[in-house]
A and B are shown apart, each in its own frame.
Chain A
Amino acid sequence: MLRSKSFVKRTRKGNVVKVVKEHYLRDDIPCSSQACTICEQHSPPVLSRTPRSTVNIKYPHYIIPDTNVFMNQLDIMEHPGIKDVIVLQTVREEVKHLSLPIYNRLNAMLNDSNKRFYMFANEHHRDTYLEKLKDETPNDRNDRAIRVGTQWYSNHLKSQGIETLMLSDDRANREKASATGIRSSSVRNYVEGMKDVPELLDMLAAPKDNSVEKDKIVYEEHKTAAQIANGIKKGSLIQGTLNISQHNVLEGTIYGEMDGEPRTIYILGRKNMNRCIQGDIVAVEILPKDQWKKNTSLAVEDEEDEEKMFGEESLDVNMKDVNGEDNDPDQVGEPTGKIVGVIRKKWRQYCGFIVKKSVHSKAGSTAPENVIFRAIDRRIPGVKIKTTQAHSLLGARIVVAVDSWPVNSVLPMGHFVKTLGSSGDRETETEVLLLEHDVPYQEFSKRVLDDLPIEGDQWVVTEEHLKNENRRDLRHLNVCSIDPPGCTDIDDALHVRPLENGNYEIGVHIADVTYFVKPEQAMNEEAANRGTSVYLVDKRIDMLPSLLGTNLCSLRSNVERLAFSCIWEINENAEIINVDFAKSVILSKHSFTYEEAQNRIDDERMQDDVTKGIRVLNSIAKKLRQKRIDRGALTLSSPEVRFNLENDSQDPVDVEMKELKETNALVEEFMLLANISVAEKIYSKFPMSAMLRKHSAPPTNNFDTLRKALSEVNISLDVETSKALADSLDKAVLPNDPYFNKLVRIMTTRCMMQAQYFCSGTESEPEFRHYGLATPIYTHFTSPIRRYSDVIVHRLLQASIDPDAVYGQELIDKTKMKELCDVLNHRHRMAQQAGRSSVELYTNMFFKNKVQIEEGRVIRVLKNGFVVLAPKYGIEGIVYTSKKPGEPSPFEYNEEHNSLVAGDVVIKMFDTVKVEICVEGDEQGMRQKMRMRLAEPFVEGVSELISLKRKSSETQSNDNNDLKQKKVKN
C-alpha cells in the first residue's frame, strides 16, 4: 500500500523545498516474539517466550519505551537487568534526529543478542502506520504512534499471556494511554518494582526542573544558536574550547581570535563560566577592560572551593577572590570574558566519588537522598546526584553522567551509572584513568579476532610469500634488533653490510603489519579507533591483538618474519647515496637489549660480523646525529621514571630515572632517517593525501617567563630559530650547577607545541616542518605494531613503490585522511596523558605512608606558592606559602622579579630548595594527592613539616594537644 510522506526543507541558498517521499506499508512485519504463533518470522525471534515480571507489574511483559526514555534514561536501558524491549521505529528515528551518540548506543543495544532488544518497524506496518493529523504536532503524532504500537502488541500477544507495557515519563501520554486501555508506567515506577536490581533506582536521570530553587536564578541564560552564530560571524563573540586550569578550577581559558589575532582569553569564576564544563566549545563575550585579569595566577585548592559551593555564598565572592582588589588601575591586564552560550557540549561520563560531607542520612539508610559527586578530574564541578545507596558508595569509585545544568542550580544535575570498585585499589584506579582518558581498553571482540590468520601461532613464512608477493629475500643478512629489556613487540630491526665501493648498505626493517591488517577488516577498524597502544606502568593496552603484536609481526630472533625494508646506500660521511624500499622476508639473528648492544660495542674482544656491524652503525649514527644537530635539531629533556615493581603484588618498591645509552640514540637515529625517507617518498606519490607529522615552531611569547627568569642569571635564550635555540640551550650552563642545563631543557620542552599528524593536502608545504627534529618533512613509519599512523604510512608506501598495488579510496580521500589524523592526534594525546597519570598513580603509591625530604628546583612562581620539581623522582608539586589559601602568608610576591620574599628568604625560579614529600588523601581519602612542604629554607608558618611534628610528638606527647590548639589559633 502506498502512502506519501512529505516535509519542508530549506536549501543552502535559503529557499524552501517540499520533499515528498513514497512510503510503502507491509503486512508481513513480524512481532519477533518467541511465543507468537501468528507471525511468519523471517529471522529467529528476539523477544523471550518468558519475559520478566516485577513487583508492580505482576504479569510477564515486554517493554515499549518512548523516545525520552532513551534520551534521558539511557544508562538504565543499557543496564543488563533490562531485557525484552521493543524499540519502535518511530522512537529510533526520533532518537537519531535528537542525538547521534545516543542513537549509536541504541543501535549497539539492538545488536546485542543478550539484551533482547527488537526494532519493530511500526512505521511500515499496515496496522500501526499513522498519518499525521491536522493541528497535531509531530511529537503528538509520534506519541500516538507509540501508543498504537503498544496497543497492537498487546492485542497481538494477548492469547499468549504476554502483556506489553509502555514506558514513558510523560504523564499526559500515560493518561491518554490508560484512557484507551494501554498499560503504561513511568521509568521510576517501573524500576522501583525491580527489587532484584535496586541500583537502577540511582541511575534515574535527575528531573529537568527543580522546583525547589525555581525562583533563585544563579546563571545567565545562554544565547540562542542563531544569535551565537551571528555574533561569531560579526566578531562580537569568540568561539573556543574551554580549558580550565589544573591549578585553579575557577580560572578557565579559551584560545580564540580577538581583533584578528589569536589570543588567550581568560574566564574567571563559575558565574562567568556559566554552566560550562571543561572541554565544551563555547562562545565568549569580552568583558570591559576594567574587569580584565590583572594579577598572577593563583593556585586554589579544591577543598576550599567545595566549601563555598555548599554554602549559600554568592558566586561573586569567588570572583573577588580571583580578581583581587589590589588592582593597579593603570595595568591593562589579560583579555577576560564571560561565556554567553555553548556551541557544543562535551559532557561525558565522569569517574569520581561521593563527597562524604554531603551524605546526611544515617548509616544503612536506603531512602533516596541528594549527594554531591566529585570527579577525579578536578576541573569538573561537583555534580548533584540522587541515590539510595549513598553509604555503600562512600569510599568507592563510581561513574556519573551529567544530565542538565539549569540556570537556577549552582551545580549540575546528574545520575549514577555504575561502581568501578573501591578507591585506592590499583585495578580500580587503573580503570578510572583509562576511562578518564577515553582509552578503549576492552578485550578484542570476536569479530576482530576472526580476522587473525587461521593458522594462529602456527603461521609461518612460506615460499609463497617470496614468489607471489614480490618480496625480497633478505634472510641471509645479519639483521638484528635492539630494544629495551623485556620488549615483546619488536617493530624494527637493522642490518649493515659493506659494499665493494667502500660505502655501506644499511637497512631498517619494520614489521609488516599491513600484511595482516587489511583495510576492510574489523581488525583494521578497531586499530584505527584505538589509534595507538597505551603504555601504563603495569600494563599495556594493545592496539592490535597480541597474536600479531607480540608474535606474528614481532621481528623476533631466529624466526622468519615479513618486513617492510628501507635500504640506503650510505658513505663514510653518512651521506645518503641511494634509498630503496621493498617488502621483504628477514631472519633476525639476534634480539639485543640496549645494554647488551652497548656491551658488544665496548667489548673489544668481540669481532664477529654482528658486533662489527653494530659498531659501524654506531659510528654512522653519531655522524647523522651531528648533522642533525648542525641543522638545528633540539635535544630536549623530560624527566622519565621507571618503577621497580614487586613481583607478586605489583607494588612499586623503587623509582629510578630512565637512563639513556648510546645505543638508544643509535636506533633512534636510523628510525628518524627511515621516517624522513619514507615521508619524502609518500609525499611525492600522494601530494594531497599523505599522512605526515609536523611540529610547529612555538610562538616566541611561550618563552617569555622562562627568558625572564634566565635573564636573572645572565643567560639569554634565543628562540628565533630552532638552531639558535639549540645553541643557546647548549650555552645555558652554570658552572657550579650540573643539573641546571637539564632543568632549562625540561622547561623549554614545556614551551613547545605538540607534534601532530596531518594530511599533506590540508597544509602548505612550509607548514610541514618538524621544528624539534629540524627536518622539512617527517612521518611515522617505524612502529606499525603500536601506532595506527604507521599502518597507514605502510599502505601509502606500498602504493608508492608497487605500480600494481591496488588501494582503495581510503588512501586518496583528503577529508577522510584529515578526520583520521584528528582521531589519531586525540588518541595519541590521551595515551600520553594516561601514561603520565599511571606514573602519577604509582608515584603516589610509592610515597604512601612515607615522608621524605628531597632536593627540588623551583620551576614556577605563583602568587601564593611555587611549583617544585624533584629531579630524583621526576615529580612536581605546588608548595603553598600559607597554611590554607586565603590565610596570611609570611611571603610576599614581588612582581618585578617574579619572586616570593619572606624576611631574608627569597624564593625565585631555579632556586634549589628542600621539600618534604608525602602523599595525603583528603578527608575521605578519596583523592590522593602529593603534598610538598618547604623544608629548607625553613620559614615559620610555612614549613609545617609532618616529620618535625612527629618528632615533637614523640618527645612531648603530653603537651601535644595544647600545642596543636595553639597552632590553630595562630
Chain B
Amino acid sequence: MPAPLISPSEKSYITQGIESDCRADGRGRLEYRHLVLENGLLSQTSGSARGRLGDSDVLVGIKVEIGDIEQDQPDQGRIVCNVECSPSASQQFEGHGADELNNTLTLALERFLCGPQSGLDLAKLCIIPGRQCWVIYVDAMVMDCAGNLLDCIIMTTRSALFDTRIPKTEIQDLGDGEYEFEVMDDVEDAEPIGNWDRLPLAVTLYKIGDRYIIDPTIIEELCSEVTLTVGVNKEGSICGVQKGSNGSIDPSLLTEMIQTATTLGKSLIEQLDAKLIDDDKAVQEKRMRGEPVQKLGFFAAVF
C-alpha cells in the first residue's frame, strides 16, 4: 500500500473517469476485481479461508473453544472477533500504526456477526444451558491491503465459517440437575455452524463525485467523500447499514445506493455459495477416491 497521498490532478483524473464509467484499471463503476477464495488451508483451525480481492489479501482462522456462557443469554453461544493488520501489508502498520484500523475493522466485523442480524443459529452453540457453550473465535489477518478491506474480510470470514466444523458433544445426566459432557474426538464427525448460509455479505459503496463505485483501489478510496456499507443476506434482506467517512448522502441517493447494494449483494452471494458448495463436494470426492487434496494456499495469486 502506498502512502495515503494523492495529488489534486490524480484526484480529478479518477473522479472524471468514474463520471464516464471508466476506472483507472478499466473496470466499470459496479464491477469487482478478480476474487480468489480458498477454504481449509489451516489444518489446525476449526475452519479457515483466504480471500484475495485484487491485491487485498485476508486470511481468516476460526477456532472453536468451550467457554462459559454469558449470563444475559443463558442459552446461546458466542462469537468473538479480532482483526489484525499485518505489518507486512504496509509500512504504516508497524508498531502501533495499525491499532486504529484494527479497532475499526474489528468493531465493524463484530456488528456484522454478533447479533440476530448474522442469521447464525447461536442457540445451537449452547452445550449446557446456563453453564457452558461453544465460543467461536474469528481471527482475521490482513496480509495485504489494496482497498475495500471490510468487504474482503467479511467475505472471507463468511467462507471460513462455512468451512468451520464444531465437534459433537454428548451430554450425560449426572442426576441432581448436574450435567457433564464429552467431546467426540473424531474431526470428521463434527457439525457445520447452523444457518451459516444466512450470513450476510457486505457491499460497500464509495461515493466519488456524484457517482458511487464498489470495490475501490487504494487511490480510489482516497478520492471518496463518503462510504455506505450495506449488509445483505441471500434473500436480499438488508441486515445492516453503516455510513463511513465525513461526507454526506442525499436521501434520494441513499435509497438508490441501498437498492444497488442489495441487488449486487444478492447475486454475489448466489454465485459464491454455489462455488463454495461445489468446491467442498470436489474435495470430498477426491478423498473418497483416496487422492490427496492439495491446497493452493499461499501460492494463489491473481493472474
Chains A and B bind each other:
yes
Interface residues of A (CB under 8 A from B): 1-4, 6-10, 14-16, 18, 20, 129-134, 136-138, 224, 226-227, 230-231, 234
Partner of B284, one of A134, A226, A234: A134
Q: A8 and B65 in contact (CB under 8 A), knowing A20-B44, A133-B284, A133-B287?
A: no
By a CB distance below 8 angstroms, the chain A residues around B26 are none
Task: Please determine whether A18 and B175 come into contact, CB atoms closer than 8 angstroms.
Answer: no
Known: A133-B188, A227-B172, A230-B178. 8 other contacts (CB 8 A): A3-B292, A6-B187, A8-B185, A18-B45, A18-B187, A227-B174, A230-B174, A231-B175
Nearest residue (CB) in B for A14 is B66
Partner of B46, one of A18, A226, A231, A234: A18
Closest CB pairs A-B (n = 10)? A230-B174, A226-B172, A20-B43, A8-B167, A131-B287, A6-B187, A226-B180, A132-B188, A7-B185, A10-B183
Please count how many residues in chain B sit with their CB below 8 Å of the partner chain's CB atoms.
Answer: 29
By a CB distance below 8 angstroms, the chain B residues around A8 are 167, 183-187, 190
Task: Please determine whether A230 and B185 come into contact, CB atoms closer than 8 angstroms.
Answer: no
Partner of B180, one of A15, A131, A230: A230
Per-residue CB contact flags for chain B residues 118-150 toward chain A (1 = under 8 Å, else 0) read: 000000000000000000000000000000000
**Given the complex of chains A and B, what is the CA–CA distance between A20 and B40 in angstroms?**
13
Task: Please determine whether A227 and B284 come into contact, CB atoms closer than 8 angstroms.
Answer: no
Task: Confirm or deny: B288 has a beta carbon within 8 angstroms of a beta carbon on chain A.
Answer: yes
Task: Confirm or deny: B189 has a beta carbon within 8 angstroms of a beta carbon on chain A.
Answer: yes
Task: Specify the main secondary structure of chain A where it touches its partner.
Answer: mixed
By a CB distance below 8 angstroms, the chain A residues around B182 are 10, 226
Nearest residue (CB) in B for A133 is B288
Q: List 13 A-B contacts (CB under 8 A).
A: A3-B292, A8-B187, A10-B182, A15-B66, A16-B167, A18-B44, A18-B46, A20-B43, A133-B287, A226-B174, A226-B182, A231-B174, A234-B176
Q: A16 and B66 in contact (CB under 8 A), knowing A133-B284, A137-B189?
A: yes
By a CB distance below 8 angstroms, the chain A residues around B45 are 18
Q: How far is the CB of B132 from chain A (nearest CB, A)?
A: 8
**Given the complex of chains A and B, what is the CA–CA distance between A713 and B163 in angstroms?**
86
The tally of CB-CB contacts under 8 A between chains A and B is 68
Task: Confirm or deny: B290 has a beta carbon within 8 angstroms of a beta carbon on chain A.
Answer: yes
Within 8 A of A (CB), among B181-236: 182-190
By a CB distance below 8 angstroms, the chain A residues around B178 are 230
**Given the complex of chains A and B, what is the CA–CA distance between A412 and B182 in angstroms?**
30
Task: Confirm or deny: B64 has a beta carbon within 8 angstroms of a beta carbon on chain A.
Answer: yes
By a CB distance below 8 angstroms, the chain B residues around A7 are 185-187
**Given the complex of chains A and B, what is the CA–CA distance between A10 and B184 in angstroms?**
9
**Given the complex of chains A and B, what is the CA–CA distance between A3 and B65 in angstroms?**
25
**Given the complex of chains A and B, what is the CA–CA distance between A4 and B44 in angstroms?**
10
Q: How far is the CB of B128 from chain A (nearest CB, A)?
A: 12
**Given the complex of chains A and B, what is the CA–CA distance between A130 and B287 in angstroms?**
8
Task: Please determine whether A134 and B188 come into contact, CB atoms closer than 8 angstroms.
Answer: yes
Q: A6 and B290 in contact (CB under 8 A), knowing A16-B183, A136-B188?
A: no
By a CB distance below 8 angstroms, the chain B residues around A18 are 44-46, 187
By a CB distance below 8 angstroms, the chain B residues around A234 are 176
Nearest residue (CB) in B for A1 is B292
**Given the complex of chains A and B, what is the CA–CA distance between A230 and B45 in angstroms?**
32
By a CB distance below 8 angstroms, the chain A residues around B174 are 226-227, 230-231
Task: Please determine whether B65 and A16 come into contact, CB atoms closer than 8 angstroms.
Answer: yes
By a CB distance below 8 angstroms, the chain A residues around B64 are 16
**Given the complex of chains A and B, what is the CA–CA distance between A226 and B292 in angstroms?**
40
Within 8 A of A (CB), among B229-246: none
Q: How far is the CB of B239 from chain A (nearest CB, A)?
A: 30
Nearest residue (CB) in B for A223 is B175
Task: Please determine whether A6 and B167 come into contact, CB atoms closer than 8 angstroms.
Answer: no
**Given the complex of chains A and B, what is the CA–CA distance between A150 and B167 in angstroms?**
32
Q: How far is the CB of A225 from chain B (nearest CB, A)?
A: 9
Nearest residue (CB) in B for A141 is B188
By a CB distance below 8 angstroms, the chain B residues around A16 are 64-66, 167, 183
Q: How far is the CB of B290 from chain A (nearest CB, A)?
A: 6
Task: Please determine whether A4 and B43 come into contact, CB atoms closer than 8 angstroms.
Answer: yes
Q: A15 and B284 in contact (CB under 8 A), knowing A8-B183, A230-B180?
A: no
Per-residue CB contact flags for chain B residues 138-170 toward chain A (1 = under 8 Å, else 0) read: 000000000000000000000000000001000
By a CB distance below 8 angstroms, the chain B residues around A130 are 290
Within 8 A of A (CB), among B33-57: 43-46
By a CB distance below 8 angstroms, the chain B residues around A230 are 174-175, 178, 180
**Given the complex of chains A and B, what is the CA–CA distance between A18 and B46 in angstroms?**
8
**Given the complex of chains A and B, what is the CA–CA distance between A4 and B45 in angstroms?**
13
**Given the complex of chains A and B, what is the CA–CA distance between A15 and B133 in angstroms?**
11
**Given the complex of chains A and B, what is the CA–CA distance between A710 and B76 in angstroms?**
71
By a CB distance below 8 angstroms, the chain B residues around A10 are 182-183
Nearest residue (CB) in A for B284 is A134
By a CB distance below 8 angstroms, the chain A residues around B188 are 132-134, 136
Q: Which of A1, A6, A231 has the most CB of B within 10 A?
A: A6
Q: How far is the CB of A476 from chain B (nearest CB, A)?
A: 70
Q: How far is the CB of B212 from chain A (nearest CB, A)?
A: 43
Q: Which of B44, B173, B187, B188 has the most CB of A within 10 A?
A: B188
